[in-house]
């Protein structure tokens, strides 16, 4: 059977607000004592009323706009009812049939190959997070579980894609690029291990001949890029095997066991009626003014994908290098700051990615803390292009700039690589070079200017970059009576 893999993702991103979605409790809970950031609202005590956090709306709108969604001017909050110990109210305030935003897409690009895919976004809605259960079965004779409500009520944006991803690799790529995007925008810290970005994936196999969709299974709570890919790859193999043997896929929710590298059934998939959604009576419909949408839109910075394309166009970088500067935006900023001061972008790019990053990683220093600023790196490169030092010496100077924090010129002053300024000494060296390069002298006499630079280069090489190039130029011209050329 000719078949096609169909994958859709549901991604929860924790919005970077200072306070929770419906109360003023702090969202800063990592490493905190359990149940410190709680109040009657997020504990769901009788009589308490939710108050919507404006910042959360703004961050969700911002995310929806970059995902090219249509923002609904009016959306509703619903109660999603279910019982679980990490949910003190026994319902979660979420959005159901009138979400904040709908009908968008994210264009993702394969690194190195020129291939872009548009992945549709069905919806983006706001909801509150649940608490956390901590299971410690080994402590006493009975199994114990604790519950921590610090996370309860933290704002989440849930993003649901269309089933338009067609391989586990593509799903992983989508998630990486979405993560980079929300981090870049400052709407989420993107930390998957700490759970600020979580992913559920559904997968099915479509018969290409009939176009019929297969039964899908959903894998819950994937908390790393690798587990998304591994879990989907496993699930794909499992489904294929069942179908090949003439079996039937059961619609269900499955759990990815990271240690055993398998998915195992959790429960049969719930349908919407199981949650008995109804409009949240304690909250008014959410109205978003056009003015707010415009204001947020105006403040959206250049997006990674836009930057990647601009870097290629403006600096003629390779796809791979442009991708590197986009993925590491601080490094991209470094490159662009230096590029504004230095004309040879190709040389600059090579020095940054090979030499600078090489030395920094040897010293375990991040580019953010580089002792060599873009201005200082350009200062060094100018000494090379002016022929004052050779590239080789430049490399050792860069290494010293990193370990001492000094400027290139300062290092040259203080070290043996100081220039030779003595006329007589340079004249002697020029004579040696002249003896070896009669052809170039003839070329120069017949007006080939390039030969002059070549001869200067030879002197520089002979002196290991220590001769002062202006002086060398002057002496060569004088010796050959070339003042008027
Ligand atoms: Zn609270």
293: CA distance to ligand 1 center in Å?
28
Gap from CA of 100 to ligand 1 centroid (Å): 23
User: What is the rounded distance in angstroms from the CA atom of residue 184 to the CA atom of residue 330?
Assistant: 10
Cα 362 to ligand 1 centroid, rounded to whole Å: 46
The 10s digit of each residue's pLDDT in 454-480 is: 898 888 888 877 787 778 888 988 888
Per-residue pLDDT, 49: 96
Ligand 1 geometric centre to CA of 155 (Å)? 12
Q: What percent of the chain has pLDDT over 90?
A: 62
CA of 37 to the centre of ligand 1 (A): 7
Residue 97 CA, ligand 1 centroid: distance in Å: 26
Using alpha carbons only, how large is the chain's radius of gyration in Å? 31
Hey, what domains does the chain have and what are their CATH numbers? Answer: 3-280+289-297 (no CATH), 302-414 (no CATH), 423-479 (1.10.10.410)
Distance 95 CA to ligand 1 centre (A): 20
Both structure tokens of 175: 């998630």
CA of 98 from ligand 1 middle (Å) equals: 25
pLDDT score of 273? 75
- Whole-angstrom Cα distance, residue 16 to residue 13? 9
CB atoms within 10 A of CB 20: 27
What span, in angstroms and rounded, lies between the C-alpha atoms of 169 and 249? 22
Say if residue 424's pLDDT is above 90: no
* Mean pLDDT within 354-372: 93
Bin 481: left if φ > 0, else alpha if -120 < ψ < 50, else beta: left
- Determine the distance separating the centroid of ligand 1 and the alpha carbon of 52, expressed in angstroms: 12
Pairing type for strands 217-222 and 252-257 reads: parallel
CA 358 to chain centre: 21
Determine the distance separating the centroid of ligand 1 and the alpha carbon of 26, expressed in angstroms.
8
pLDDT at 485 over 50: no
Does 484 score more than 70 pLDDT? Answer: no
Cα–ligand 1 centroid distance for 28 (angstroms): 12
Q: What is the DSSP letter of 250?
A: P
Q: List beta partners, residue 217.
A: 203, 252
pLDDT on residue 295: 97
Q: Are strands 70-71 and 132-136 parallel, antiparallel or unpaired?
A: unpaired
SS3 80: strand
- 44 Cα to the center of ligand 1, angstroms: 9
Q: 31 alpha carbon to ligand 1 midpoint, in Å?
A: 18
Q: Region of 246 please: left (phi>0), alpha (psi -120 to 50) or beta.
A: left
Mean pLDDT, rounded, for 142-146: 77
CA-wise closest residue to 267 among 10, 14, 11, 82: 82
Residue 72 has pLDDT above 60, yes or no: yes
Q: What is the pLDDT of residue 138?
A: 58
For 186: left if phi > 0, alpha if psi spans -120 to 50, otherwise beta; the answer is left
């Amino acid at each position: 059977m000719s078949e096609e893999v169909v994958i859709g993702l549901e991604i929860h991103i924790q919005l970077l607000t200072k306070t929770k979605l419906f109360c003023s409790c702090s969202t800063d809970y990592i490493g905190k004592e359990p149940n410190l950031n709680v109040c009657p609202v997020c504990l769901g005590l009788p009589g308490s009323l939710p108050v919507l956090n404006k910042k959360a709306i703004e961050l969700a709108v911002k995310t929806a706009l970059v995902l090219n969604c249509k923002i609904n001017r009016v959306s509703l909050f619903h109660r999603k009812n279910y019982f679980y110990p990490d949910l003190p109210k026994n319902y979660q305030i979420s959005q159901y049939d009138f979400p904040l935003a709908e009908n968008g897409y994210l264009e993702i690009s394969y690194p190195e190959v020129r291939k872009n895919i548009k992945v549709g976004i069905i919806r983006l809605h706001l909801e509150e997070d649940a608490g956390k259960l901590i299971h410690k079965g080994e402590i006493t004779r009975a199994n114990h579980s604790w519950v921590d409500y610090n996370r309860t009520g933290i704002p989440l944006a849930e993003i649901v894609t269309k089933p338009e991803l067609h391989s586990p690799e593509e799903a992983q790529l989508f998630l990486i690029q979405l993560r980079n995007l929300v981090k870049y925008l400052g709407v989420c810290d993107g930390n998957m291990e700490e759970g600020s970005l979580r992913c559920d994936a559904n997968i099915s196999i479509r018969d290409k001949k009939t176009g019929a969709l297969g039964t899908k299974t959903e894998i819950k709570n994937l908390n790393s890029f690798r587990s998304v890919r591994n879990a989907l790859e496993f699930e794909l193999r499992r489904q294929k095997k069942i179908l090949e043997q003439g079996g039937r896929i059961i619609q269900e929710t499955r759990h990815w066991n990271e240690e055993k590298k398998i998915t195992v059934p959790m429960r049969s998939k719930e349908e919407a009626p199981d949650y008995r959604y109804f409009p949240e009576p304690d909250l008014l419909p959410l109205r978003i003014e056009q003015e707010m949408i415009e204001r947020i839109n105006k403040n959206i910075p250049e997006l990674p994908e836009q930057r990647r394309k601009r870097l290629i166009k403006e600096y003629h970088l390779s796809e791979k290098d442009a991708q590197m500067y986009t993925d590491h935006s601080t490094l991209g900023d470094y490159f662009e700051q230096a590029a504004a001061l230095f004309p040879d972008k190709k040389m600059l790019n090579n020095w940054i990615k090979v030499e600078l990053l090489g030395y920094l990683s040897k010293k375990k220093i991040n580019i953010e803390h580089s002792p060599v600023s873009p201005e200082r790196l350009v200062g060094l490169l100018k000494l090379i292009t002016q022929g004052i030092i050779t590239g080789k010496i430049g490399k050792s100077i860069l290494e010293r700039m990193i370990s001492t924090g000094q400027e290139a010129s300062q290092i040259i002053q203080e070290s043996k690589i100081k220039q030779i300024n003595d006329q007589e000494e340079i004249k002697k060296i020029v004579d040696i070079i002249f003896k070896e390069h009669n052809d170039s002298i003839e070329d120069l006499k017949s007006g080939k200017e390039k030969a002059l630079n070549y001869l200067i280069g030879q002197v520089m090489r002979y002196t290991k970059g220590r001769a002062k190039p202006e002086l060398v130029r002057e002496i060569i011209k004088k010796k050959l009576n070339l003042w008027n050329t």
